[in-house]
Amino acid sequence: MAEADPRDARTAPVAVWQVLEKLRGQDLIDWRLAPVTGRASIEERNLDIGFPFGWYAIELSAKLAVGEVQPLRYFSRDLAMWRGEDGQVRIVDAYCRHLGAHMGHGGKVHGNLLECPFHAWRYDGDEGVVKDIPYSRVIPPQVRRKCTTTYPVIEANRWIWMWYHPDGAAPLWDVERLPECSDPDWTEFEVHEWNVFGNIQNMAENGVDVAHFKYIHGTANVPLGELRWGEWGRGADVKARMGTPWGEVDGQISYDTMGPGQSWTRFTGISETLLVACITPVELDQCHTRFCFTQPKAQAQGERAGVAKAIIRDICKQYDQDKVIWDRQKFEPEPIICAGDGPIADFRKYYARYYVEGQGKPAHLAAG
Ligand code: FES
Ligand SMILES: [Fe+2]
């Protein structure tokens, strides 16, 4: 290895960049989605702490037509999603109570009901009951009452959102509506996608981990900003110097979250951009990330189009850099913190509210 690359590894500016520097175009897109092999088990990485409850982005609204069925895999569950003739999206557990077919694969929409592909039992996605069995005179009583798990679903910000709670509790807050997403003067989403083989709490902690910005992202200053801690959401306003092809420029970044699954960031200063960051757990050691960018059309198509594009590229590059760490990071329940680390303890104490006592709640957080 030393022969092929005679540079002194000690002088590399940022170590994780070495993983990324050769990736361009399709290679980079493939790397963002590819499996990471040889990683340690969920238990070894302390990731068996359950999923935090909240609203999570599942699919872009435009990708599910009336009458369409899609299989989903999120929260270590197989799910089936469909859009009925009334336009409503519904999500239920994928497996049919009859003989266990996966209804997301080959299921059909019948009116507003989901019809199993195996023997055509028809499920009501609101009540979680079987409404009709075309070949039988009798619907068994066990499926005439609630027999499958249904999930609250809403559409907002051009996305389908599902409420996840380990006990099936009703939603505790609403999805925040972002005006830019319904404004005809803002562009269609530009979507970038990743599979991160890590834990959503570790990923969220990144925002308050001030020391990593220098070592992972190479930013000279420490962008912590003014933190806001609300009942179910938190945020910050950050003044930061942002890199562009024309050098560094002063900008303002405001990020907000509502629960663990909804987060958005507004960039202003050089070029206005809204990032709708959709991060949804698939397994305890895997999250599906989709970054949706929208910008004022006048800006995206105007003379500053280059700057607008550069911002999106830079944000995605930062996410690539974090992914290199997240893919193999363990959850450290008792981290050894030093001066200059930022409010990591405050963040963890806050984030504990998204876990159910005695279930997903990590033992070290149960007391705090
Ligand atoms: S398995 Fe679904 S109807 Fe038989
Ligand atoms: Fe980061």
For the chain, domain boundaries: 64-151, 179-353
Residues 274 and 337: their CA atoms lie apart, in Å, by 33
Which residues of the chain, if any, have pLDDT below 50?
1-11, 360, 367-368
**Exposed, middle or buried, 241 (CB in 10 Å: 0-12/13-18/19+)?**
middle
CATH superfamily name and code, 64-151 = Rieske [2Fe-2S] iron-sulphur domain (2.102.10.10)
Position 13 scores a pLDDT of 55
Kindly give the distance from the C-alpha atom of residue 198 to the centroid of ligand 2, in angstroms, as a whole number: 14
Rounded to the nearest 5°, which phi and psi values hold at 278? -110, 110
Fold of the 179-353 domain? Naphthalene 1,2-dioxygenase Alpha Subunit; Chain A, domain 1 (3.90.380)
The mean pLDDT value of the chain amounts to 90
Position 4 scores a pLDDT of 43
Same fold flag, 64-151 and 179-353: no
Position 360 scores a pLDDT of 47
Please report the DSSP string for 140-174 in residue order: -HHHHS--S-EE-EEEETTEEEEEE-TT-PPPSS-
Three-class DSSP category at 81: strand
Position 81 scores a pLDDT of 98
Rounded to the nearest 5°, which phi and psi values hold at 242? -115, 140
Work out whether the CA dihedral 348, 352, 358, 360 comes out positive or negative.
negative
Residues 239 and 252: their CA atoms lie apart, in Å, by 5
Position 368 scores a pLDDT of 41
Pick the atom of ligand 1 nearest to 99's CA: 1
Position 250 scores a pLDDT of 77
Nearest-5° Cα angle at 314, 308 to 315: 95
- H or E element that contains 242: strand 234-244
Kindly give the distance from the C-alpha atom of residue 142 to the centroid of ligand 1, in angstroms, as a whole number: 14
Position 244 scores a pLDDT of 61
Pick the atom of ligand 1 nearest to 133's CA: 3
Contact of 291 with 7, CB cutoff 8 Å? no
Kindly give the distance from the C-alpha atom of residue 207 to the centroid of ligand 2, in angstroms, as a whole number: 7
Position 11 scores a pLDDT of 46
Choosing from 116, 129, 143 the residue with most ligand 1 atoms within 8 A of its CB, the one to mutate for a pocket test is 116
Q: What is the pTM of this model?
A: 0.92
Position 17 scores a pLDDT of 76
Position 362 scores a pLDDT of 54
Position 214 scores a pLDDT of 84
**What is the token pair recorded at 309?**
């594009």
